[in-house]
Amino acid sequence: MQPKVEPVKSAVGAIVHVDRAGLTDEFAQRCLELIEKHGVIVFPRIGLTDAEQLAFTDKLGASVNFTTSAPGGDASSPGIYTITLDPKINNEPEYVLGTFFYHMDGMAMEGIPPPKASVLSCRRTAPKGGQTEFASTYAAYEGLTKEEKAEYETLRVVHSVIAGVREVAKPEDIEPRKRARNAERPLVWTHKSGRKSLLIGYTADHVVGMSQAEGRALLARLLEWAGQPAFSYRHYWQEGDLVIWDNCGALHRVIPYATDSGRTMHRTSVAGVEALT
């Protein structure tokens, strides 16, 4: 029996109705096709355990945990990154606070591709705030003029850890090893499928060959463009929801929530297999 799929918007988002028993190897291939088509797919209140989430992530491709050294990196179980502002689990809140701003996971990791897809499940919601917004950078690219596409496809951008947290922390507050992390990426990336997306977000520090003012102004305009209502979707979490998205084709950010809200999310990631050159 095929799962019921309800598109949210033409540019981004789909709701997938399937139970836990339906997360088979065969369905995993279908899931990859849905991610490719919709950018973000939502499984309402499917209620996966950590073991089930890890197992399904492995069905989607090789899993990767690039945040094992971060607080909450293995707080629930190996391979699971617990995202929370609870000081008992996370004594370095800067990285979670940085997710209040649009970003793509792993963009500042030099030498390895960022994750292909991110898999996020809701363990506990916040009484206020905590929704996650997604913005399609496929749609953002496709909506550009012919002249803009031609110009932007020649540009490269340096992404850094410092840029990703500059709104919430001072550089000296970040440990030196993480402070030094940066990676150069194309502004427009052509996926193996042939589709093109913008690689932008708050980790984007500067455009190579441009002055800081000019480059950051361009990056800010592109973020505003990508985040417009036609290209974006806000997910209102319920406990047990599972959301999977194309990490290099969709920005995401969380609506701010209180430190003591109890909001807790568990993330797994599908390893990237295409070099971002």
Q: For 216-230, what is each residue's pLDDT tens digit?
A: 999 999 999 999 999
Task: Tell me whether residue 48 is in a domain.
Answer: yes
Provide the pairing of β-strand 242-246 with 117-124.
antiparallel
- Look up the domain containing 34 and give its range: 4-270
Is 277 inside a domain boundary? no
pLDDT at 152: 98
As a whole number of Å, the end-to-end CA separation of the chain is: 40
User: Is the pTM value of this prediction over 0.75?
Assistant: yes
Q: Does a structural domain hold residue 149?
A: yes
Q: Is residue 276 part of a domain?
A: no
- The answer to whether residue 275 sits within a structural domain is no
Q: What is the pLDDT of residues 113-134, one digit of tens each?
A: 999 999 999 999 999 999 999 9
Question: What pLDDT score was predicted for residue 39?
Answer: 98
Residue type, 152: Y
Q: Which of 129, 140, 105, 109 minimizes the C-alpha distance to 119?
A: 105
CATH of the domain at 237: 3.60.130.10
* Nearest to 173, CA basis, from 105, 109, 95, 108: 95
Which residues of the chain carry a pLDDT beneath 50?
none
Q: Quick: pLDDT tens for 29-38.
A: 999 999 999 9
Residue 65 lies in a domain: yes
Specify the pLDDT at position 76: 60
Q: What is the C-alpha separation between 140 and 129, in angstroms, rounded?
A: 26
Domain count, the chain: 1
- Single-letter residue type at 17: H
Length of the chain: 277
CA distance 17 to 44: 7
